[in-house]
C-alpha cells in the first residue's frame, strides 16, 4: 500500500508542472534524478565488483584481458588530472573503434545488403513500397537540377510518400507518449492512490481559485 | 521549468491546460469504468505466439531485457506476456531461459519487478530453469559477444555463481546453442538484428510503438520473426494467452485518447482555416 501511495504522490508531483511551476514539482524532479543516479552508481559498482574486482583480486587472474580492459578503463579518469587530460582520449578512442567496428560489420548484412533485395511486385503493398522508395529518393536528389517533368512528378509523389511516412511515425510516437500517462492513471484513480489524488485535486482547485483572484 | 509557466499563472483557461485536463478525464474514465472495446489480433502477434510455442524440448532462449521502468507502462504488458508464455513452455517443455541486460541498469530493475510481482514463477527454480546474467554493459558489443561465446563475456551469473557449475548451461556456448533470441528495448532495435540475424535463429522483439516502424523493415526482410509493439502488442498478446491484464485494461483509454487526438487535430485545423479565411477577407 505504501509503495502505491508513494507512486501516486511522485506522479502527481511531476504532473503538477502541467498547471505551473511549483515546489512540489521541483522536489519530485530532484527526487527522480537522485534516485536514478543512485541506482546507476550502485549498478555500476556492482558490475565493477563482478567483472573486474572479483576476477582480478579474488581469483587472481592478473594475466588476462580483464587487466588490459581495467587499465584502459582507469585511464579515462586522467581527465581529472591537470595537464594529463590527453590520456583520457585513448580509452575513448578504443571504445569508439570497438563500437564502430562491431556496428558496421553487423550493419552490412542487415541494414544495407539485406534491405536491398527488391520484393516481388505481386501485391499492392510491395508495389507501393518500391514506388515509395524510388520516388522518395528522387526527392532527396539535390545534385542534379532538372526540369524534366517525369523527374518533377516523381519528386512530388515522393513528397507524398514522405508525408505519409512521417505522419505514421508521428502517430506511433503519439501512441507511445500517450501510453505513459495511461499506464500511471490506474495507480491514481483506483486503489490506495485515490487517497493521494483527491487531496491533490483539492489543492489544484484551490490554486486555480487563488491564482484567478490575483 | 520555464518562467513562462510562472508568469502565466492566474490565467487558468489557457489552451494547453484545458487540453491536458480533458485528456486526463478522457483517459481516466475508461480505466474507472471499463468499456471493453473489441481488439483484433494482428498476424504478427500470432506469429510471435507461435514462435514461442514452437521452441523445441529443452530449448534455450536468450532474452536481452533492455527496457526499463521508464517505459514500463508502454512495454510492461508485452514483456509480462512474453515471460508468462515462456514460463509455460519452461514448465511443459523443459525450456531454459537466460536473461541478461546490456543497455543500462534499468533493465534489471524492471525484470525483477516482472519476475517477482507480475509472473507466476512457482514451480520454476532459479539456476535450474532460468538464469539471470545481470547487467553486462556494452550494449551492441555485449550482444555480439553473447552470440559468440557466452562463457567469455559472462563467466558468472548475477549472484556470482560460475556458469560452469550449472550443468545445463555448461554446454551452451553461443548462438548455435540458442534456439531463439528475444529482446526488449525502449530505444533503438537496430543492434539486435545487426548482431543476431546472421545466425538464422528466430528473433522476437518487444518494442515501443514508436519504434515499430524501425522494426518493420527487419521483419519484412525475415530478420526479426515477430514483434510486439507497445501497449497494443501487449494487449493483443494477453488476449492470445487468455489472461487479460495490464495491457487490456489500458486499451480502452488508448482508443479514447486517440479519438480525442483526432478531434483536437480537426478542431485546430478548422480554427486555422477559419482564421486564414478571416485574414483574407
* CA angle, B85 then A177 then A33, to 5°: 95
Identify the pLDDT of residue B1.
47
A128 touches chain B (CB under 8 A): no
Q: What is the C-alpha separation between A124 and B217, in angstroms, rounded?
A: 17
Phi, psi angles (nearest 5°) of residue B62? -105, 115
CB atoms within 10 A of CB B188: 15
Identify the pLDDT of residue B11.
52
- Per domain, the residue ranges of chain B are 43-247
> Which of A177, A181, A214 has the CB atom closest to B10's CB atom?
A214
Query: Tell me, what DSSP letter sits at residue B42?
Result: P
Q: What is the C-alpha separation between B279 and B266, in angstroms, rounded?
A: 20
**Minimal-distance CA residue of chain B relative to A175:** B209
Residue pairs between chains A and B whose CB atoms are closer than 8 Å:
160
Q: What is the C-alpha separation between B187 and B207, in angstroms, rounded?
A: 8
Cβ-based contacts of B134 with chain A (< 8 Å): 46-47, 50
Q: What is the C-alpha separation between B172 and B159, in angstroms, rounded?
A: 19
pLDDT at position B10 over 60: no
Contact criterion met (CB below 8 Å) for B74 and B210: no
H helix runs in B149-229, sequence order: 150-153, 167-170, 191-196, 212-220
Per-residue pLDDT tens over the stretch B196-220:
999 999 999 999 998 998 899 899 8
Contact criterion met (CB below 8 Å) for A170 and B11: no
> Which of B11, B105, B250 has the CB atom closest to A39's CB atom?
B105
pTM of the model: 0.87
Q: Which of B75, B88, B152 is nearest to B122 (CA)?
A: B88
Q: What is the C-alpha separation between B109 and B63, in angstroms, rounded?
A: 15
In chain B, DSSP assigns E strands to 60-66, 96-101, 130-135, 180-185, 203-207, 226-229
Q: What is the C-alpha separation between A110 and B189, in angstroms, rounded?
A: 12
> Which of B105, B223, B257 has the CB atom closest to A182's CB atom?
B257
Q: What is the C-alpha separation between A129 and A112, in angstroms, rounded?
A: 16
Q: What is the CATH number of domain B43-247?
A: 3.40.50
The model's confidence at residue B12, banded by pLDDT at 50, 70 and 90, is low
Tell whether the torsion through CA atoms of A36, A38, A41 and A43 is positive or negative: negative
Rank A132-136, B26-30, B47-51, B148-152 by mean pLDDT and report only the highest: B47-51
The model's confidence at residue B148, banded by pLDDT at 50, 70 and 90, is very high
pLDDT along chain A (214 residues), means of 10: 90 90 93 93 91 90 89 94 95 94 91 80 86 92 80 93 93 89 90 92 88 79
Contact criterion met (CB below 8 Å) for B98 and B115: no
How far out from the chain centre does Cα A117 lie?
30
Q: What is the C-alpha separation between B160 and B150, in angstroms, rounded?
A: 15
Identify the pLDDT of residue A175.
87
Contact criterion met (CB below 8 Å) for A27 and A13: yes
Which single residue is written with the C-alpha cell 499506464?
A: A183
Tell whether the torsion through CA atoms of B68, B74, B79 and B84 is positive or negative: positive
Q: What is the C-alpha separation between B210 and A201, in angstroms, rounded?
A: 32
pLDDT at position B4 over 80: no
Q: Measuring CA to CA, how many Å separate A160 from each of A163, A184, B217, B270?
A: 5, 37, 20, 22
Sequence-ordered list of residues with C-beta below 8 angstroms from that of A180, at least 6 positions apart, any chain: B71, B73, B74
Identify the pLDDT of residue A78.
95
Site from B100, B209, B219, B258 to mutate, A interface, most A CB atoms within 10 angstroms: B209
Nearest C-alpha of chain A: how many angstroms from B216? 11
A148 touches chain B (CB under 8 A): no
The model's confidence at residue B2, banded by pLDDT at 50, 70 and 90, is very low
Paired with B141 in beta bridges are none
Amino acid at each position: 500500500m505504501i509503495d502505491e501511495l508513494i507512486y501516486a504522490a511522485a506522479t502527481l508531483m511531476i504532473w503538477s508542472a502541467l498547471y505551473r511551476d511549483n515546489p512540489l514539482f521541483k522536489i519530485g524532479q530532484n527526487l527522480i534524478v537522485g534516485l536514478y543516479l543512485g541506482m546507476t552508481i550502485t549498478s555500476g559498482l556492482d558490475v565493477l565488483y563482478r567483472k573486474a574486482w572479483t576476477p582480478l583480486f579474488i581469483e587472481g587472474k592478473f594475466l588476462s584481458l580483464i587487466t588490459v580492459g581495467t587499465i584502459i578503463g582507469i585511464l579515462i579518469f586522467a581527465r581529472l588530472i591537470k595537464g594529463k587530460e590527453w590520456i583520457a582520449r585513448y580509452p575513448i578512442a578504443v571504445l569508439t573503434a570497438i563500437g564502430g567496428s562491431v556496428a558496421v560489420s553487423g550493419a552490412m548484412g542487415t541494414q544495407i545488403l539485406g534491405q536491398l533485395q527488391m520484393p516481388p511486385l505481386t501485391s499492392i503493398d510491395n508495389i507501393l513500397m518500391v514506388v515509395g522508395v524510388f520516388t522518395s529518393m528522387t526527392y532527396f536528389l539535390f545534385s542534379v537540377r532538372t526540369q524534366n517533368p517525369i523527374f518533377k512528378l516523381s519528386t512530388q509523389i515522393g513528397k507524398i510518400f514522405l508525408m505519409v511516412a512521417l505522419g505514421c511515425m508521428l502517430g506511433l510516437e503519439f501512441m507511445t507518449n500517450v501510453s505513459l500517462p495511461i499506464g500511471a492513471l490506474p495507480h491514481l484513480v483506483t486503489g490506495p492512490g485515490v487517497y493521494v489524488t483527491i487531496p491533490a485535486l483539492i489543492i489544484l482547485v484551490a490554486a486555480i481559485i487563488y491564482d484567478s483572484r490575483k | 521549468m520555464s518562467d513562462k509557466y510562472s508568469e502565466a499563472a492566474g490565467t487558468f483557461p489557457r489552451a494547453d491546460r484545458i487540453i491536458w485536463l480533458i485528456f486526463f478525464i478522457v483517459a481516466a474514465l475508461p480505466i474507472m469504468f471499463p468499456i471493453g472495446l473489441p481488439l483484433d489480433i494482428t498476424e504478427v502477434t500470432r506469429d510471435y505466439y507461435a514462435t514461442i510455442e514452437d521452441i523445441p524440448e529443452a530449448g534455450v532462449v536468450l532474452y536481452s531485457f533492455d527496457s526499463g521502468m521508464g517505459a514500463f507502462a508502454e512495454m510492461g504488458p508485452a514483456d509480462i506476456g512474453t515471460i508468462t508464455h515462456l514460463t509455460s513452455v519452461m514448465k511443459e517443455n523443459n525450456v531454459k531461459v537466460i536473461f541478461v541486460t546490456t543497455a543500462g541498469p534499468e533493465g534489471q530493475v524492471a525484470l525483477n519487478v516482472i519476475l517477482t510481482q507480475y509472473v507466476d514463477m512457482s514451480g520454476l527454480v532459479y539456476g535450474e530453469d532460468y538464469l539471470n546474467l545481470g547487467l553486462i554493459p556494452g550494449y551492441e558489443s555485449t550482444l555480439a559477444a553473447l552470440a559468440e561465446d557466452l562463457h567469455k563475456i559472462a563467466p558468472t551469473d548475477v549472484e556470482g555463481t560460475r556458469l560452469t557449475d550449472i550443468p545445463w548451461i555448461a554446454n551452451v556456448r553461443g548462438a548455435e546453442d540458442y534456439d531463439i533470441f528475444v529482446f526488449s528495448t525502449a530505444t533503438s532495435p537496430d543492434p539486435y538484428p545487426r548482431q543476431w540475424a546472421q545466425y538464422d535463429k528466430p528473433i522476437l522483439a518487444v518494442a515501443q510503438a514508436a519504434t515499430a516502424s524501425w522494426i518493420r523493415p527487419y521483419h519484412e526482410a525475415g530478420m526479426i520473426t515477430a514483434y510486439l509493439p507497445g501497449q497494443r502488442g501487449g494487449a493483443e498478446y494477453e488476449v492470445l494467452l487468455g489472461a487479460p491484464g495490464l495491457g487490456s485494461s489500458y486499451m480502452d483509454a488508448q482508443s479514447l485518447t486517440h479519438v480525442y487526438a483526432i478531434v483536437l487535430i480537426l478542431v485546430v485545423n478548422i480554427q486555422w482555416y477559419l482564421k486564414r479565411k478571416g485574414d483574407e477577407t
